[in-house]
Amino acid sequence: MARVSQQHLDARRQQILDGAARCFARNGFHATSMHDVLREVDLSAGAVYRYFAGKEELIGAIATEVLDTIREAFEDAAGQSPPKPPDVLITEVMGRVLSGEFIPGAGNGGQIPRLIVQVWTETLRNESLSTLIRAGYGHVHAAWVKVVEAYQAEGLMRADVPAEHVARTMIGVAQGFVAQQALFGEVPVEVLRNGLRGLMSMGEQKAG
Give the tens place of pLDDT for each residue, 133-180: 888 889 889 988 988 998 999 898 999 999 999 999 999 999 999 999
The tens digit of pLDDT for each residue in 29-46 reads 888 999 999 999 999 999
Mean pLDDT over residues 174-192, rounded?
A: 91
Return d(Cα 4, Cα 201) in angstroms, integer: 57
Residue 92 phi, psi dihedral angles, 5° rounding: -65, -45
At residue 92 the predicted structure's pLDDT band, cuts being 50, 70 and 90, is confident
More confident residue, 46 or 3: 46
pLDDT at 86 over 70: yes
Closest C-alpha among 132, 66, 134 to residue 102 = 66
Mean pLDDT over residues 65-84, rounded?
A: 78
Q: What is the pLDDT at residue 1?
A: 46
- State which amino acid sits at residue 134: R
Task: Provide the mean pLDDT of the chain.
Answer: 85
**Helices assigned H by DSSP within the chain:** 6-27, 34-41, 45-49, 55-78, 86-98, 111-123, 127-153, 163-184, 189-200
Ranges 24-38, 81-95, 98-112, 125-139: which has the least confidence: 98-112
Return d(Cα 208, Cα 113) in angstroms, integer: 43
